[in-house]
Structure 1
């Protein structure tokens, strides 16, 4: 499907589309959390809830290792996958910080998944998440 750099671009585009220029950090938090929820829905039947949670925890851990000052806020999320707690924490951030968190953790999550099952399969499994962000009326066939 697409390589990791393309996946990163797709995640960024998906997040940007979902945020849609909002200047409300609560809407940015909702966009990020909704992506995690859709990833959980897509992957749970394949890798199970424990696998989804393990990837989430590892992604957070790797984010915190790059941004140790964030550990005070996000450290508790490494213990359990509490999406609502994540949403509340993101809502207290600035928009750029929330977006940085979302982009880095989502990219890390994808990279970890791709390491386990391959980038092509990871991309296919998460296609619904990306497509949901850009869903709209279907394209018209103009070839006739």
Structure 2
């Protein structure tokens, strides 16, 4: 069992990781993946800042990258020296230095850590409700093969 064996994740947080990995496998280049990741964090900030405050979102962002950097050391700089806002320019610059596969893996873990930290603070039910709109904006609709 690894350091993330106790990861609490929602179906949606798992889907974002699958989406990232699939985009990398489908040939999305580093630039496209970096833009998707930055867009994801912008969406999170947009939806959550009015509810929990910009500083709180930035703190959760910082903590998420700290936890993700244990498995993906290249994320280490994302949690150092930030104040009241997320430094998405620095994130994009760090992402652009990685391979598509490493972007998908590292950024996916950071997003899962965000979900886990928020869940630990406010509970799974409220986290799901708060992030439902975020996931809807970021993820393709789940496919249902119920054609009967």
Q: How much is the aligned-residue C-alpha RMSD, in angstroms? A: 2.3
Q: Tell me, what secondary structure is at the counterpart of 1:65?
A: coil
| Deviations, residues 75-119 of structure 1 (Å, cap 9, x unaligned) | 332122210110111011000100111110000000100111111
Distance between the aligned counterparts of 1:18 and 1:39, measured in 2?
A: 20
Q: 1:128 to 1:18 in 2, by over 3 A?
A: farther
Match of residue 124 from structure 2: 119
Higher relative helix content: 1
**How far has the Cα of 1:18 moved from its partner?**
6.7
Match of residue 94 from structure 1: 99
Q: Tell me, what secondary structure is at the counterpart of 2:69?
A: helix
Q: What's the TM-score, normalizing by structure 1? A: 0.78
| Deviations, residues 47-90 of structure 1 (Å, cap 9, x unaligned) | 1011001101111111123344x2xxx33321222101101110
Match of residue 141 from structure 1: none
Tell me if 1:77 matches 2:78.
yes
Q: Tell me, what secondary structure is at the counterpart of 2:70?
A: helix
Match of residue 65 from structure 2: 60
Query: Is this contact kept in 1: 2:21–2:101, CA < 8 A?
Result: no
Aligned length: 130
